[in-house]
Each structure stands twice: as structure tokens, then as C-alpha cells.
Structure 1
Amino acid sequence: MPTTYTVQRGDTLSKIARRVYGDAALASKLAEYNGLLSPDWIRVNQVLTLPSLRILTGKKPDTTAAFPAPNGLTEILKVYGDIYRYLGADGRPTVKWETDHFGFAALPFSIPLSWDLSRKVTKIYCHKKLAGLFEQVFGAIRSGGLAKHIRTFGGCYAFRRKRGGTALSTHSWGIAVDLNPETNALGSKGDMHSSIVEVFTEFGFIWGGEWAGSNKDPMHFQYCSGY
């Protein structure tokens, strides 16, 4: 959701636009967004609404994906690979599962690891078919001035079962990411910023925060549905 700013003595919309968005020329857009007749008509203690850069400019990224998000386990296995054929005697995937299906997506900004804040992620180890899409999503987040809303990275690839279940998690295919897990626990409403949700869903991702009851998972974004 947009933030607010209280006008201080000496402020102009141009100064505010430069400070917040890095472009003084956006003063007229900011005036229009706040219903002001002129960029010059602001007063001390006036409260302005500051939307994300992407919303303010009305610029939306090219969200054309290479393929639609698969629906259901059958399509997941067909599109991302039959992980069950790669399981070894210990019930875990062999090294070949990763060498055949995984790669890296470069991030345009670093994100602290949720379990070790002293370390920062600069790339995501994910299914190679989604590497480009993840780069597009996080690129749109950065260009929209939204990176500040991603505080920590909770992971992408992890071979495991769904929490509280027996079916494999979508993390086992490297097709999901968890963000800000410390305040977006499973079963909670969470506090995921609506603009982050908007970007991911525009690119075709499913947000776990829309799931019902104890399955609600507001930290989670996955590129598949029906599973």
C-alpha cells in the first residue's frame, strides 16, 4: 500500500519527488495523484500519499512469460520434470536432478537471508526454466521502487514435504520463493506489501496469502496452480 509524507517547511513537490523517486520531473504526477490543482500548491503539515514509482508513472512491465503456469501435479511433472524418477534409495533426489533442471537467477538487488542476516543473496538457485522469469519479477520490483518492501529471503529450492502434509512442496522443483518469512508465517495474515503481491501476480505467480485457513502462506509465491 502507498506510504504517506507530511510536508515540512521548505519542501516543494519537486524536492519530494527527487528525494523519494529520484526524479523531480515527477512532481506533476505526484500532484495529480494527490488531487492537487498545481504542483506548487502544498502547505506545511499537509499529508501527501506516496505510491510506488510503478503506480505513480503507470508503467507496467512486460509480463509475457515463456509459458503459462502449470496447473496440478500432472502438469508440474510434465513441465518441470518428474522428480520421482530421480529419487535415490534414501528417498532424496540424486545429484542428476539438480544438474538436469537447475540454474541461477541474478537479482538486481541483494536480500538478507532470513536465517542469517549477516549474509545477503545476490542470486536465486531455482528451476532453470524460471530463471529468466524470476529476473524479470525482481527487476520490476526494483524499477518500481519496491525493493525496500523485501526485507529477507526465505529460500527457493529445498527438497521437502509441504509443511503439515505428505506431498512434495513446490520448493522441491525450485519454482517457489519465500519472502519476509519472519512476519508472514504459515496460517497467518502476514504483512506482505500489496505492491509486491501485485508484481508477482502480474507475472503469473500464485500468492499463498490467498489460500484459505491454515494453508494461508503469505510469504510464498509459486509459479504453478492447483497444487
Structure 2
Amino acid sequence: MAPRLVPEVTMGRSVVAIVLLLACAASGCRASTTLEPEAGPTSSSADVPLGTPSASSGARETEPRQAPPTVSPPGPLTGDLLPADLLVHSPEPLEEDLVAAVAEVPGVVHVEPIALAQVAIQDRVVNVAAVDAAAYRRFTTPGSAGLQEAWDRVAGGEVAVVPALGRRLRDEEGYLRLGNDRDAARVHVGALTAQVPQVDAVVNTAWGTELGMRPGNALLISVDRLVAPQRVRPAITRLVGRDVSVQVLGPDLDVSAVQTAVLTGGSVAQAVGSFSYRVGTAGRIVPQQEWVAGHIRTEAVPILGAVTCHAVMLPQLRAALAEVAASGLSQEIDPDQYAGCYHPRFIAGSTQLSLHAFGIAVDLNVPGNQRGTVGEMDPRVVAIFERWGFAWGGRWSWTDPMHFEMDRLVEVR
């Protein structure tokens, strides 16, 4: 039996309840009627706790399950809700005296330390926060903050995700794999609910430790309602330094601020490293040159010729292509249809980074392998790439058969 949804909507909860009762009275439906919010961008404010995974669901176990890390339940919502006005994000934990100094900046009324990192899910880099649910929920929307079951589930080891993204990326069993590494953790999606701007998913602090996130490397900041966040930002920037991201939160990315990319979720993420970047034009980003110089290389590989990728991936890419050639399959990869490896950009139409921005993905035979199709990739080529530590986008729920991304480290001898 598939997990049931618990009905909940951020706006007008009592109105929704009345409408459902009237509908039931007219149609004779039973009390177990559930409400699934409409899919798509308009549903981003919907708050829905999801059913827990069930051994009787009939779904095939794909790997052993371990009990998720838990923390104490947050209890009922206490205190006033707070606007999420500014976000400070650093690659490393912020020192306590620095956090105290930020809290004393004129106009700042509250600061809340969180852990913030990015995980790669199907070539989409998702912002994940590890939080104290009792404190963090006060920064979310009223409907989300008041959804007790959602925060109990986060404390109990599940993940809460913004609705549109959660529906798109969770697997058939209702899990997210937090990272593109083959050994990355799978976390059950416990709720689809609105988060603060620039946060896509939240887990508890124990999960943060399990994932290797850096505790306290980010700060949510509320300012006085009579003070514009833009007026407070310069003083905070002077305290934390210009290389640390200080952005004004809102529905759109603050393009004037330095951004921070910190991959987590496994050994590949650790090898890739973190970097700061600025938002460029036409969906591009401008990473800090020190990271580019230290990690991005242009080298020759079989079949494709010169490619520009992350240094950690090049040996595995070279080995995979060499085996393709040795197997007599060179004709199955057209170098004229190669669409590149390192591309410092967002995913088209979004402000989420692609793994191409880290240089650990390649797109092959593009014309015949478009997103959402079965594609024309030779399965023997796919098998070779998978042996050499690559995941294939043709296996995703929304397929991308041109796409191969590094999902584990393989020693090349």
C-alpha cells in the first residue's frame, strides 16, 4: 500500500477543512479522504507530511536500511515567527564571537546558526540545511511553521523538501539520495513544505553530522521590520569578510552577493572541493579563480580529444574512454556531438548549479539523447562508464541519457 498523505495547506486551513467536509457530505466519502496539492511551481507553498515507509508497500528493497539518526522532538511552536532577511554562508564554521558580533549589528534582531551545504541529485545541486527544527521553523511561512508533524518527522530522521522539488526527485519508495555518490545516504521524504528562500531541504542536526556538513557555517538573520536588509548587509560583510557570502533573501537569488558552493554527500564531494562564485550573465557563474586554477584541467583523452574537466575525474574519464576504444566501440561516441564537461553555469531556467559547474559530468551524443527520452546510447558504453565510476542519466526518473556524472572514486592503475 502506498504511503498516505496527511491533508494540509498553508493558506486557510480551516477553509480547506470545511470545503472537504462539505464535499464529503455531498458525495458520501469516508473520513480517510486525502489531499494531494497540485504539482508544479504553483504548489511551492503546500505543506504535506507524507506517510512513513512501510514494509508492506510491495516495493522492492534496493539496499539495506539502517535506522536514521534522530534528535529530540521540537515540541509545539513557541515564540513569534521571524522574517528570513539575510543569509550568511561560509565554507567553514563561523566562530562564536563572530556570530555574537553579527547579532549586535544595529538593526539585527535575531540570528540562527545552521549548517548549509549542497548535494547533487540528478545533476541538480540542491541546498540542504541541517537545523534545530524548533528554532529554524520560526523563519518559515506560517503554514509551514505550524505544521507540527513535519518538524517531528525532521527530528525523527526524515527530510522536509520544498514541494515541487520533492515530487520531482524522490524515488518510487519516497526517498532522496543526498548526494550523487553511489554510497550517499538515502533519506525518507517526510514532508513537502515551504522552506526559507535559498533552502531546498532540511534535515536534523544528527543527519548533518552523518553527512559531514560543517555545523554553524551559515546564519539566518532577521532584521527590524523598519530596517531594510540592504542597509544592514554592509556592516555584516565588514565583520565576516568579503569572501563570505552575505545575501539578501527573497524569491530570487541575490545576484549582487558572493555565493558559496560546498558539496557534501560522499567521497566524490570531498574530492571536488568548495568554492565561492558570483552570478554572471545569461545563466553563467564566475567561480573564484583560485579554485579553478587548483582543480580544473584541460587534457587529451581517447575518442574526444582535448576536454576540460575537474582534475579528479580526468583519470576515470580517460580510462572509461580507453576501454570503449579497446572494446571496438569508438564509433558509438561521436566527438562532434560532445557537449562538454566543465561549464560554470546554472541549470537552464533555474538558480541551481549543475554538476558541470564542478567539472564532474560529461554530455555525449547530444542530438539523439535528449532529456525525457530513452535515448540511443549503446548499453555496452553505459556499462563501461558505470564500471569506471560514472552514473548514467538514462536511469533517472526524468531521463537524461546524454549525461554521465562521476558518482564514486575509482583507482586507475
Give percent identity, aligned residues only. 32
Q: 1:136 to 1:192 in 2, by over 3 A?
A: same
Q: Which residue of 1 aligns with 2:308?
A: 125
Q: Which residue of 2 aligns with 1:40?
A: none
Q: 1:81 to 1:131 in 2, by over 3 A?
A: same
Q: Distance in 2 between matches of 1:89 and 1:165?
A: 12
Q: Distance in 2 between matches of 1:177 and 1:142?
A: 17
Of 92, 101, 109, which aligns to 2:286? 92
Q: Distance in 1 between matches of 2:396 and 2:183?
A: 18
Structure 2 residue 362 is the aligned partner of structure 1 residue 177: yes
**Per-residue Cα deviation, 1:150-204 (whole angstroms, up to 9, x for no partner):** 1221110001223454321010111000000111011111111111101001112
Structure with more helix by fraction: 1
Structure 2 residue 376 is the aligned partner of structure 1 residue 186: no
8 Å contact kept, 1:70–1:79: no
Letter of the aligned partner of 1:108 in structure 2? P
Q: Give the secondary-structure state (helix, strand or coil) at the position aligned to 1:187.
A: coil
Of 296, 301, 305, which aligns to 1:107? 301
Q: TM-score, normalised by structure 1?
A: 0.57
**Per-residue Cα deviation, 1:23-49 (whole angstroms, up to 9, x for no partner):** xxxxxxxxxxxxxxxxxxxxxxxxxxx
Structure 2 residue 398 is the aligned partner of structure 1 residue 208: no
The number of residues matched between the two structures is 143
Q: Distance in 1 between matches of 2:309 and 2:316?
A: 11
8 Å contact kept, 1:104–1:126: yes
Which ranges in structure 1 are unaligned for 5 or more consecutive residues?
1-67, 112-121
Letter of the aligned partner of 1:182 in structure 2? P
8 Å contact kept, 1:188–1:217: yes
CA deviation after TM superposition for structure 1 residue 108, in Å: 2.2
8 Å contact kept, 2:316–2:389: no
Q: 1:202 to 1:192 in 2, by over 3 A?
A: same
8 Å contact kept, 2:298–2:309: yes
Q: Distance in 1 between matches of 2:365 and 2:356?
A: 16
Q: Which residue of 1 aligns with 2:270?
A: 78
Q: 1:135 to 1:69 in 2, by over 3 A?
A: farther
C-alpha root-mean-square deviation of aligned residues, in Å?
2.2
**Per-residue Cα deviation, 1:98-146 (whole angstroms, up to 9, x for no partner):** 101111342223x4xxxxxxxxxx1211101111111111111110111
CA deviation after TM superposition for structure 1 residue 89, in Å: 6.7
Q: Distance in 1 between matches of 2:371 and 2:348?
A: 9
Q: Give the secondary-structure state (helix, strand or coil) at the position aligned to 1:217.
A: coil
Q: Which structure's CA Rg is the greater one?
A: 2
Q: Distance in 2 between matches of 1:174 and 1:69?
A: 18
Structure 2 residue 381 is the aligned partner of structure 1 residue 196: yes
Runs ≥4 residues deviating over 4 A: none
Q: Which residue of 2 aligns with 1:156?
A: 341
CA deviation after TM superposition for structure 1 residue 224, in Å: 2.5
Letter of the aligned partner of 2:270 in structure 1? K
Q: Which residue of 1 aligns with 2:352?
A: 167
Which sits farther off after the overlay, 88-97 or 136-145?
Answer: 88-97
Q: 1:216 to 1:164 in 2, by over 3 A?
A: farther
8 Å contact kept, 2:389–2:406: yes
